[in-house]
Chain A
Amino acid sequence: MSFSDFGNDLYTGKRSIPVIPKRRTFYLVSLVLMAIAIAGLGINKLNLGLEFSGGSEFRVTSTSVPDDYESMAREALGAADDSQGVRVSKLGTGTVRVQTERLGEAESAEVRAELAETFSVPQDRVSATFIGPSWGESVTNQALRALVLFLVLVAAVLAIYFRNWKMAAAALIALAHDLVITVGIYSFSKFEVSPATMIGFLTVLGYSIYDTVVVFDKVRENTTEAFGNGRMSFAQAANLAVNQTLVRSINTTVIGVLPILAVLVVGALFLGPGTLLDLALVLFIGIAVGAYSSIFLATPLLVSMRSKDESVLELDKRAARSQAAKAKKQAVAATASGGVPAEGPGAGADRAVDSDEAATGRPAVSVPMATEESSATITGRQVHKYAQSGPRNQPKRPPKSRRK
């Protein structure tokens, strides 16, 4: 099966998506997306629902409320206002409550007349008042305070868990990226922001952090190993980690998105605009963007942030040395065994299967090496290929880089 082959190749490093080497491209993509989203927010203010800004309320009192009061009321209002953000409910047995965004004096009178006509009651049976927001500023403030505290705590927990504050910082930047883009798309689509949408944003936030943490856990594992044996540079280890979790990321995203996609399709086909569709849309975008950022933004950011760290620089040097030595050895082995070095040095590095080379990661990036040099001594004398692997019938010492 091709997908599983793909996964295998990604795992072993045979095939590698150059996420880290190409990170500047991904930064650019993210920056452009965020710029568009912020510009969108600047141009179209978020269309806040009446739960946030308050609105007008009409009550129609009649002796009996017909069963399809909801569509009737919506139709009546359709003339005065587009029906988005209108909430219709029934109070008791004889009252229909219609809530809309805040209407002016004239509009309000118009709506009253329309409602009275639709429900065939005299106009004085339709009352109009203003209502305040149910999701007031205090709710927003409280939620924001909780959010800030949460982010601080998450940063602390991640910094402690990964023993590196830069990982926490990268995760939070990826999170901000996801939120900005999701909110930006909302402002472009001009969908009404309801409390349910807010909940959707929060879900996206949770998902984004979750996804990033899963990827980072693998990055941590691979880089710790690299720090231990010095065979891979930090960037290589991170790149391998991203590639190794890619199949998991794809599977998770697909499984997470499938139910939402179903809701989205059903909502769009049968329901039209409403809470369900809004929520499904925000989650769909958010999860997709969250998956993207955990792979293509968070890890590259981490690599960029750590690229100047002393330990990372040192590791890079060690890794370069180790890889050069290994490539040399393989080239020697290839020539020594009489094999034609047709596969090239890169392929040799990919599928190197030697007795003690069982560690998880193999360098994904082949190291250029000078074949001529390897078969020559310092004095420039050509060495016969049988002699290249050292004295025969002697126990081989492991290369210096692998000695404990």
Chain B
Amino acid sequence: MAQMSHAKFARRALAAMTVLTLALMGLLFGANQFSNGSYAPKLGLDLEGGTQLILEPRVAGGRTVAPEQVTEARDIIVQRVDAGGFSGAEVTTQGGRNIVVSMPGDPTQRDEDALRRSSQMQFRPVLAIAAGTPAPAPSASPSGSPAPSGSATPSPAPSASAPAASPVPSTTNKSAIPGAFTTEPSPSAPSGSPSPSASPSPSPSASGSGAAASDPYSLDQITPELTEQFTLLDCSKDDALENLVDDENKAIVTCDQDGAAKYILGPVVVSGDKISDAVAGYQVGPQGQQTATVEIQLSLNGEGTEQYADVSRKMVALQAPQNQLAATLDSRVIVAPSFNEAIPNGKASITGGFGITEARDLAQQLKFGALPISFDLQTREQISPTLGSEQLRYGLYAGIVGLLLVVLYSLAQYRVLGFVTIASIVAAGLLTYLAITILGWSHNYRLDMAGVTGLIVAIGFTADSFIVYFERIRDELREGRSLESAVATGWDRAKRTILIADGVNFLAAIVLFFLASSSVRGFAFTLGLTTLLDILIVFAFTHPLVTLLARRKFFRDGHPMSGLDPDKLGAVKKTSYAGRGRFTTTPPRVAGGEGSAS
């Protein structure tokens, strides 16, 4: 009875395996028919080439770029590249200043932006708010005609504001503009007039020279220079913040993201490097239902939590607008909510005008920390494979030769049973191919040279599972079991070995995948994939196949060519009572007569 259920189970497992394979084939076919899939696996940078981006640091206010900053930026960009799923990208510094990103495939504009944005998030207390465009009739404007637009809507009117003195024609954010760096109407610009103008700042009693007042919430932070900048700032212009010098210890004047409002913000009270995690999602309403509002939930680390609790406690007591804490991203205000109560748990939620994809990108960037500097794209070029094309070709030839050798060896060792090995390796190969091509389509998984070699080594791992299994069956035959019982007992024991050995490998893959970066991650992925496939194949293909074959006469009677011939294996001869006065002297022995001693 037990054997019947074994066979039944085996048939089911094989059927499930076939269904899985067919489903994956169907998926691949569908991906090719209806999407941009391809039947060939995607190849990595070293085998196929890709795109090379050279990023040049954008430095405001004549600051210089320190080599450490570039290195730090490089490390963060590496993480972003990894998180973006471009496996096998190569990020280097060039000339101690630029960053070169070589990545396989063709990154979109959005990918590019995600890489080079600084994504510096800061929390600053709000000191003053006004509509985005300058209020009419400020007292001292240096030159040009002030635009008479007082509305909050961002109008593209040619209004003159702070940087109007610079002769540089209006530029877009994308292009590098070295000229703009030199002319810097920074807070130390020679405006000199200490008179407070028509600004919403209530107390202009600032001691202008004492740059950073001790209390970041105090209105003493607003120096006359700031007031003037604030008045002149026109947030409707693209380059309004082009010359902003973002010093975390000083108050700044800035705009919000769509230019509708402008702010004077105090010094940074909680900086972005205190963010330990960021998750984007839809806000959950009071009744637990999802709302349409996209939010980013930030978790702060220990120090950040303390600071944030401290800030919220102080701010609750203050008056509007000073009870608002602005979250700025790359110096622009995303959102400036007011505090209703103190928040001691270090969880901040930011909702603002972003869509869900944008929020996800942003959350990724916040998680890995901000770049110390923003970068502009200098050049973008196609790059040829870094490894010669012949390496792949000869590697594949060698792989085929190696496979043939494996086939010959397993036939010599296991005779007809060797065909089971070969069939299993073929099945494993088919599944690996399907997995890699489908993952290439869905997750941009790419095979690089190390991956190809990993797959070649995986032949060894996969084959080992069969060898462990077959050797166990032979061991049980040597003990004098019948084939069917030997298969069942051998499997019980081999199963444990295969599971623990593969489990350890899978553990390696998981740890390396989540903790390491760049090519180590790629390796970890390939290792994890092949290990999983190995387990799948042994459990759902090889074992059922052997169980079914063991019922065939050829194997059951131990044909000399079957590889499971008890005589050849030196099986223990047993004389046992077979019932009705008959004795048997050859292997067939009562199954389960001797349980394992362990």
**Cα(A70)–Cα(B49), bound, Å:** 14
Of the 9-residue stretches B329-337, B450-458, B542-550, which lies at the interface with chain A?
B450-458
Q: Does B394 contact A270, Cβ atoms closer than 8 Å?
A: yes
Cβ-based interface call for B149 (8 A) = no
CB proximity of A300 to chain B, nearest CB, Å: 20
Residue in chain A with minimal CB distance to B384? A90
Cβ-based interface call for B598 (8 A) = yes
Q: Does A255 contact B409, Cβ atoms closer than 8 Å?
A: yes
For B100, the chain A residues whose CB sits under 8 A away are 131
Knowing A203-B523, A255-B467, the reply to whether A133 touches B92 (Cβ < 8 A) is: yes
Q: Does B450 contact A196, Cβ atoms closer than 8 Å?
A: yes
**Cα(A102)–Cα(B136), bound, Å:** 59
Of the 9-residue stretches A105-113, A117-125, A244-252, which lies at the interface with chain B?
A244-252
Knowing A8-B478, A136-B71, A262-B401, the reply to whether A358 touches B594 (Cβ < 8 A) is: yes
Cβ-based interface call for A316 (8 A) = no
Residue in chain B with minimal CB distance to A351? B572
For B523, the chain A residues whose CB sits under 8 A away are 199, 202-203
Of the 9-residue stretches B7-15, B298-306, B338-346, B496-504, which lies at the interface with chain A?
B496-504
For A1, the chain B residues whose CB sits under 8 A away are 568
CB proximity of B535 to chain A, nearest CB, Å: 13
Cβ-based interface call for A92 (8 A) = yes
**Cα(A54)–Cα(B500), bound, Å:** 41
Residue in chain A with minimal CB distance to B454? A203
Cβ-based interface call for B398 (8 A) = yes
CB proximity of B254 to chain A, nearest CB, Å: 32
Q: Does B468 contact A210, Cβ atoms closer than 8 Å?
A: no
Cβ-based interface call for B511 (8 A) = yes
**Cα(A89)–Cα(B45), bound, Å:** 11
**Cα(A198)–Cα(B519), bound, Å:** 9
Q: Does A5 contact B449, Cβ atoms closer than 8 Å?
A: no
Residue in chain B with minimal CB distance to A3? B413
Q: Does B597 contact A359, Cβ atoms closer than 8 Å?
A: yes
Q: Does A198 contact B520, Cβ atoms closer than 8 Å?
A: yes
Interface residues of A in 297-345 (CB under 8 A from B): none
Q: Does A209 contact B398, Cβ atoms closer than 8 Å?
A: no
**Cα(A221)–Cα(B395), bound, Å:** 40
Q: Does A92 contact B382, Cβ atoms closer than 8 Å?
A: yes
Q: Does A150 contact B520, Cβ atoms closer than 8 Å?
A: no
Interface residues of B in 29-73 (CB under 8 A from A): 46, 49, 52, 70-71
CB proximity of A173 to chain B, nearest CB, Å: 16
CB proximity of B59 to chain A, nearest CB, Å: 18
**Cα(A209)–Cα(B78), bound, Å:** 30
Interface centre among A158, A255, A262, A263 (most CB of B within 10 A): A255
**Cα(A228)–Cα(B493), bound, Å:** 18
**Cα(A146)–Cα(B500), bound, Å:** 20
Cβ-based interface call for B517 (8 A) = yes
Cβ-based interface call for B169 (8 A) = no
Cβ-based interface call for B148 (8 A) = no
Q: Does B512 contact A258, Cβ atoms closer than 8 Å?
A: no
Contact partner of B453 (CB less than 8 A), chosen from A90, A200, A228, A244, is A200
Residue in chain B with minimal CB distance to A199? B450
Interface residues of A in 198-226 (CB under 8 A from B): 198-200, 202-203, 205-207, 209-210, 213-214, 217-218, 221, 224-225
Residue in chain A with minimal CB distance to B397? A266
**Residues of A contacting B: mostly:** helix
Q: Mark A137-154, 1 if CB is under 8 A from B, else 0.
A: 011001101110110011
Of the 9-residue stretches A26-34, A273-281, A371-379, A385-393, which lies at the interface with chain B?
A273-281
Q: How many of chain B's residues touch chain A, expressed as a range? A: 35 or more
Residue in chain B with minimal CB distance to A280? B453
Interface centre among B49, B460, B475, B479 (most CB of A within 10 A): B460
CB proximity of B513 to chain A, nearest CB, Å: 9
Cβ-based interface call for B527 (8 A) = yes
For A157, the chain B residues whose CB sits under 8 A away are 503-504, 507
Q: Does A254 contact B598, Cβ atoms closer than 8 Å?
A: no
Chain A residue total in the interface (Cβ 8 A): 96
Cβ-based interface call for B231 (8 A) = no
Cβ-based interface call for B403 (8 A) = yes
For A5, the chain B residues whose CB sits under 8 A away are 570
**Cα(A106)–Cα(B177), bound, Å:** 34
Cβ-based interface call for A346 (8 A) = no
Q: Does A247 contact B471, Cβ atoms closer than 8 Å?
A: yes
**Cα(A207)–Cα(B514), bound, Å:** 20
**Cα(A61)–Cα(B6), bound, Å:** 69
Q: Does B505 contact A146, Cβ atoms closer than 8 Å?
A: no
Residue in chain B with minimal CB distance to A271? B394
For B474, the chain A residues whose CB sits under 8 A away are 7, 11
Q: Does A266 contact B384, Cβ atoms closer than 8 Å?
A: no
Contact partner of A139 (CB less than 8 A), chosen from B507, B508, B517, is B517
Q: Does B93 contact A150, Cβ atoms closer than 8 Å?
A: no
For B450, the chain A residues whose CB sits under 8 A away are 195-196, 199-200, 279
Q: Does B449 contact A266, Cβ atoms closer than 8 Å?
A: no
Q: Does B397 contact A217, Cβ atoms closer than 8 Å?
A: no
Q: Does A225 contact B413, Cβ atoms closer than 8 Å?
A: no
For A145, the chain B residues whose CB sits under 8 A away are 515
CB proximity of B390 to chain A, nearest CB, Å: 7
Q: Mark B377-416, 1 if CB is under 8 A from A, else 0.
A: 0000111111110110011011101110110011001000
Q: Does B398 contact A266, Cβ atoms closer than 8 Å?
A: yes
For B90, the chain A residues whose CB sits under 8 A away are 51, 134
Knowing A95-B381, A150-B511, A252-B467, the reply to whether A89 touches B597 (Cβ < 8 A) is: no
**Cα(A402)–Cα(B15), bound, Å:** 48
Residue in chain B with minimal CB distance to A277? B391
For A224, the chain B residues whose CB sits under 8 A away are 598
**Cα(A247)–Cα(B414), bound, Å:** 12
Q: Does A259 contact B403, Cβ atoms closer than 8 Å?
A: yes
Contact partner of B518 (CB less than 8 A), chosen from A9, A139, A263, A359, is A139
**Cα(A345)–Cα(B160), bound, Å:** 110
Q: Does B519 contact A149, Cβ atoms closer than 8 Å?
A: no
CB proximity of A292 to chain B, nearest CB, Å: 15
Q: Mark B455-480, 1 if CB is under 8 A from A, else 0.
A: 01101110110011001001100111
Knowing A139-B520, A360-B597, the reply to whether A256 touches B457 (Cβ < 8 A) is: yes
Cβ-based interface call for A353 (8 A) = yes
Q: Does A257 contact B46, Cβ atoms closer than 8 Å?
A: no
Q: Does A8 contact B520, Cβ atoms closer than 8 Å?
A: no
CB proximity of B107 to chain A, nearest CB, Å: 16
Interface centre among B454, B508, B527 (most CB of A within 10 A): B508
For A9, the chain B residues whose CB sits under 8 A away are 570
Contact partner of A248 (CB less than 8 A), chosen from B52, B460, B467, B479, is B467
Knowing A89-B385, A275-B391, the reply to whether A213 touches B500 (Cβ < 8 A) is: yes
Q: Does A131 contact B92, Cβ atoms closer than 8 Å?
A: yes
Q: Does A259 contact B402, Cβ atoms closer than 8 Å?
A: yes
Cβ-based interface call for A180 (8 A) = no
Q: List chain A positions with a Cβ less than 8 A from chain B.
A: 1, 3-5, 7-9, 11-12, 51, 54, 57, 70, 87, 89-93, 95, 97, 129-136, 138-139, 142-143, 145-147, 149-150, 153-154, 157-158, 161, 195-196, 198-200, 202-203, 205-207, 209-210, 213-214, 217-218, 221, 224-225, 228-229, 244-245, 247-248, 251-252, 254-263, 265-267, 270-271, 274-276, 279-280, 283, 287, 353, 358-360
What are some 23 contacts across the A-B interface (CB < 8 A)? A7-B474, A7-B569, A8-B570, A11-B474, A89-B383, A135-B519, A143-B512, A149-B511, A154-B507, A157-B504, A195-B519, A200-B450, A203-B527, A210-B502, A255-B460, A256-B460, A257-B460, A258-B406, A259-B398, A259-B406, A263-B399, A266-B397, A287-B457
- In the A-B complex, the 7 residue pairs with the smallest Cβ-Cβ separation, listed nearest first, are A259-B402, A256-B460, A132-B93, A146-B515, A262-B402, A8-B570, A90-B384
